[in-house]
Chains A and B, each alone.
Chain A
Amino acid sequence: MTGRAAFREGIRRVNGAPMVVAGMFAVTLFVTLPLSYALRGMIAAHLGASMAADRAASGTNYDWWQEFSAQASGLGTTFVPSIAGFGAVLDNLSGFLDHTPLAATIAGVTAAWLVLWSFLAGGIIDRFARARRTRAHGFFGACGMHFWRLLRLGVVAWLAYGFLFGYVHAWIFVRAYPWLSRDITVERTAFALRIAGYVVFGTLLILCNLVLDYARVRIVVEDRRSALGAILAGGRFVRRHARGTGGLYLLNAAAFLLLVALYGLLAPGTPRYGLAMWLVFGLGELYILARHYLKLLFYASETVFFQGALAHAAYTAAPALVWPDSPAAETIGNAEPTAGS
């Protein structure tokens, strides 16, 4: 199977699981909504009943915003002008690549969301691997069955990414880049050097990501229990199918960049409060939904590619989970036959 075919089939499988897409979107929404509500309270408290609120509701009020920032703490420190429109995307991508430290609250919610996603990843991959409906009990059964394995994989991944961001990133961008660019007097040259740094770091990051992706797929599809074994198997798979896995990864990455570019073109400014605001928010949520879709497409297409290369389509080693009877039914079933009649 080629990467392109896997990508197409991945699309088909994600399309066939709209509840998974919607569910993951809902999970992200429910994780973020309480924080958004807390921030809403901070904004409201600072605005009070002032007329500054009117300007802030009608458009932007940068003067007020600067006042807010001067007194903000905790979550409030993340409420900066660059969250508006497409700036939000640039802010996050740039912050990710430049390893910008996160505010404690944001780091906490990110960690919680990653753990939650790790829990759900087993069910998602299982669903895509089977290419058929697994129903809620099958989905969550798979989540539970694979969770500890995926969590162990997550710990290894955390160590690997920690090494990459903590040491390799620091070495490239805190040591090598400043050292190499120290005497550069032309900004374009310095930027080219920076891009070279991103390419080197990005390549390592993608390699690591590829191996861990296929380790995740193998844990679910082959019902592997050992995270380390899955990583080794994932690595072998990537090495033996370098072209296919690489090509597929690039296709997925291109889809992501296309979405980002599209949002960059469409992302509107800050509207007035009212219908326009809800439309803009709706567009933002549509973009977030699309990001979920593409994230799931990564899972689905890589699962398809793995299945196509090592097994057969829709192959999963783990038997379909049989949901146990209720405790009451089991009690009745296990009861000694009563005497008489």
Chain B
Amino acid sequence: MFARSAAVATLLILGGATLPAARQPPAAQPAASPPAGTPALSPRNASYAITARLDPKSRTLTGDEILTWRNTSTISATTLRFHLYYNAWRNTNSTWMRERWLAGDTPLTSRPESDWSWIDVTTVRVIGAGAGGDLTGAVRFVAPDDGNKEDRTVMEVPLERPVAPGGTLNVQIAWALRVPRTFARTGTIGNFYFMAQWFPKIGVLEDGGWNCHQFHSATEFFSDFGTYDVRLTVPKGWMLGATGVERDRRDEADGTTTHHYYQEDVHDFAWTTSPDYVERHASFEHPNLPPVDMRLLLQPEHAGQAERHFEATRAALKYYGEWFGPYPYGHITIVDPAWQSEAGGMEYPTLFTAGTRWLAPRDVTTPEGVTVHEAGHQFWYGIVATNEFEHGWMDEGFNTFSTARAIENVQRYSPNYYAKRYFGGFIPWTFRDFPLSRETDGDRLASYRLAAKADTQSTPTWRYWPGTASAVTYAKAALWLHTLERMLGWETMQRIMSTYFARWAFGHPKPQDFFAIVNEVSGRDMTWFFDQVSRSSNVFDYGVDAFSSEPAAVRGYVGDGNARTFAGAPDGGGPFRTTVVVRRYGEGLFPVDVRVVFENKEEARWRWDGRDRWRMFEIEKPVRASFVQVDPDHVLLLDVNYTNNSVTLAPRTKQAATKWSLAWLVWLQDHLLTYGFFV
């Protein structure tokens, strides 16, 4: 299996001579067929057999892949398009780098020479009966999104013979790449390597043509499902973790080890290697869900936090499994990346990177928050594989919503607190007066509030303003999903999510697919809601404009003719007329409740469609009102200013302001005395 085949010998003669590294990887073999009786969960129309060799000394990787691709679209494929992500960090003219610069990340563009990367495809050859042979010379770079001629992240290969719908093609590609100092959570630092988006990966052919976007700084990825049969050669003694499970391992004569990993029904393959990892194992068991073997590759200084990683992964598998659907793979690898690797907090099929700190207080959800989130991506991204280039919010927003809900349900994580790190960011301090809430912190309201108008969510994600994309992608979607949960109730929401999961597992749903399921399961036409939250950048802000509760007795003339009398000043007794004026300060429309609570604890509620700019409500009661609230149940979590949603006739404003200004006073005095060092 490891001997070089005649095909590869030909490859080397024809094209491999340009490979910079002396040692070439063994030739890839076509992806192995699944064991008999294993039902395919996905279309498996983009399967890879890859062999690759990492040379840490030169920080290069040479690889060879055989792609077995089936055209699942209704059009013939006259070309193939591949992602070459590592070219995003070739120079500052790539679209990715330009966008980072736009986002204000200028230090990134001034990195030293050793940090940059490239990927060179040295051979492209169609193999199999009737194939057109070597296409290396026909390879060209295209920039379908912005026309940037300097961008080399999408490679197009014209085919001599089109692939008809349903037809299959085998393509052999050889490549070499230089591993960068981490950009976009792939790369290396020291002996730590995290290899993601590292091989030429085919785009997705849709009925409208290739969906193969350039690499953008604010987007992630999109690809078809398949089987990955991967052999990775790394220095002997280095631990390796990857998508899938290790089938076998072989020590080579040259002091290297080849690890063989295999996984079906996934749409990407990532791996990591380092001699420093500490390995731990645990399992997830549940009465109604399939068991999962958990493998944790941990940094030695975090060895004491192994159980925290397992506990958080279990939480994700449990709650996501119970709410949405089972995790089908039976194994998962958790990677704790090296300090400063910038590889943390990223998801790949059956493998994800978490991220923790040496000092990690137990009442702060680090590493738990990121671990639940990235494990949760196995569901929203891994299994339900939305197009992250175009609808990033469909996995990030869904997953932010789900993570916050899961965290809220784990007893040990409640409450968790605001924390700040001091002295260069090393020393954490937990503020136990500041418990974090799902609504504001889990759903990331603060980040949305600052960028609420930055982009319309339905704009393709790759066209978002790079500096604020995450607010629209992560926070806004989480907030409106949570709002939807509060409108429809969790039971309905759970049925929506599980229906969506079941229907679109191992598929590529689009926003309208989810919207349709919401309407179908809830039995309500929620189009107006999606128009507001997803198809507009309207800001929601409802508030109380005026509130009074005064004696209703009239003053002035009453009656007619001889019966006309003058009513004097009311005596201050009842009944009382309570008047409320509520106002829509933002552009967003949402029906809200208006609630008035009276001194005798009785309450009155009105429903306002929230469409006009303002609305007045009046009521007479024998007692005065105490307070009024717009949206008292806080259904509309996208309301950027909830403080103005209530008014009380006995406010404690002065007390609150006094209390907090005194706390601030102590801070300021202490600050002056700290600077008193100078005198």
* Chain A residues packing against B (C-beta within 8 Å): 28-29, 31-33, 35-37, 39-41, 43-44, 46-54, 56-64, 66-70, 78-79, 81-98, 106, 109-110, 113-114, 117-118, 121, 154, 157-158, 161, 173, 177, 181-188, 190-191, 194, 198, 209, 269-270, 273, 277, 281, 284-285, 287-288, 291-292, 295
Q: Are A50 and B644 in contact (CB under 8 A)?
A: yes
**Cross-interface CB contact of B668 among A36, A60, A183, A185, cutoff 8 Å:** A36
| Min CB–CB distance A143 → chain B (angstroms) | 13
Binary contact track B419-436/A, C-beta < 8 Å → 1, others 0: 010111011010111111
Q: Are A83 and B663 in contact (CB under 8 A)?
A: yes
Secondary structure call for the A interface: helix
Residues of chain B lying within 8 A (CB to CB) of residue A92: 667, 670-671, 674
Q: Are B426 and A191 in contact (CB under 8 A)?
A: yes
Q: Are A114 and B675 in contact (CB under 8 A)?
A: yes
| Distance A188 CA – B672 CA, assembled complex (angstroms) | 32
A185-B338, A191-B426 known; A106 and B676 CB under 8 Å?
A: no
Q: Are B653 and A49 in contact (CB under 8 A)?
A: yes
Q: Are A98 and B627 in contact (CB under 8 A)?
A: no
Q: Are A288 and B450 in contact (CB under 8 A)?
A: no
| Distance A45 CA – B626 CA, assembled complex (angstroms) | 20
Q: B160-168, B437-445, B469-477: which lies at the A interface?
A: B437-445
| Min CB–CB distance B572 → chain A (angstroms) | 21
Q: Are B439 and A63 in contact (CB under 8 A)?
A: yes
- The list of the 7 closest CB pairs from A to B, nearest first, reads A94-B422, A40-B661, A284-B666, A56-B656, A88-B667, A185-B338, A83-B667
Known: A90-B422, A113-B675, A185-B299. 7 other contacts (CB 8 A): A39-B664, A48-B644, A48-B653, A63-B437, A67-B642, A177-B424, A270-B433
Residues of chain B lying within 8 A (CB to CB) of residue A191: 358, 424, 426
| Distance A273 CA – B52 CA, assembled complex (angstroms) | 66
B106 within 8 A of A: no
Q: Are B662 and A183 in contact (CB under 8 A)?
A: no
| Distance A62 CA – B678 CA, assembled complex (angstroms) | 35
A185-B191, A281-B662 known; A194 and B426 CB under 8 Å?
A: yes
Nearest B-chain residue to A157, judged by Cβ:
B678
CB within 8 Å of A: which B333-364 residues: 338-341, 357-358
B494 within 8 A of A: no
Residues of chain A lying within 8 A (CB to CB) of residue B423: 94, 97-98, 194, 198
A90-B422, A96-B675 known; A187 and B357 CB under 8 Å?
A: yes
**Cross-interface CB contact of B656 among A47, A70, A78, A88, cutoff 8 Å:** A47
A49-B653, A62-B440, A187-B301 known; A96 and B420 CB under 8 Å?
A: no
Residues of chain A lying within 8 A (CB to CB) of residue B432: 269
Q: Are B671 and A106 in contact (CB under 8 A)?
A: yes
Could you list some 5 contacts between A and B, CB below 8 A? Answer: A43-B657, A50-B647, A63-B445, A81-B418, A93-B674
| Min CB–CB distance A198 → chain B (angstroms) | 8
| Distance A36 CA – B660 CA, assembled complex (angstroms) | 9
A67-B643, A185-B339, A273-B659 known; A62 and B653 CB under 8 Å?
A: no
Q: Are B656 and A277 in contact (CB under 8 A)?
A: no
A28-B669, A48-B644, A53-B651 known; A188 and B358 CB under 8 Å?
A: yes
**Cross-interface CB contact of A96 among B339, B437, B674, cutoff 8 Å:** B674
| Min CB–CB distance B481 → chain A (angstroms) | 19
**Cross-interface CB contact of B653 among A47, A89, A269, A295, cutoff 8 Å:** A47
B645 within 8 A of A: yes
CB within 8 Å of A: which B529-562 residues: 547
Nearest B-chain residue to A75, judged by Cβ:
B664
| Distance A108 CA – B674 CA, assembled complex (angstroms) | 15
Which of B358, B433, B437, B671 has the most C-beta atoms of chain A within 10 angstroms of its own C-beta?
A: B671
| Min CB–CB distance B344 → chain A (angstroms) | 12
A54-B652, A89-B670, A96-B674 known; A36 and B339 CB under 8 Å?
A: no
Q: Are A66 and B440 in contact (CB under 8 A)?
A: yes
| Min CB–CB distance A264 → chain B (angstroms) | 10
| Min CB–CB distance B192 → chain A (angstroms) | 6
Q: Are A49 and B667 in contact (CB under 8 A)?
A: no
A33-B665, A66-B440, A185-B276 known; A57 and B655 CB under 8 Å?
A: yes
| Distance A53 CA – B432 CA, assembled complex (angstroms) | 20
B446 within 8 A of A: yes
Residues of chain A lying within 8 A (CB to CB) of residue B627: 51
**Cross-interface CB contact of B433 among A60, A64, A121, A198, cutoff 8 Å:** A60
Q: Are A44 and B434 in contact (CB under 8 A)?
A: no
Q: Are B653 and A44 in contact (CB under 8 A)?
A: yes
B449 within 8 A of A: yes
| Distance A295 CA – B648 CA, assembled complex (angstroms) | 46
**Cross-interface CB contact of A31 among B434, B647, B658, B672, cutoff 8 Å:** B672
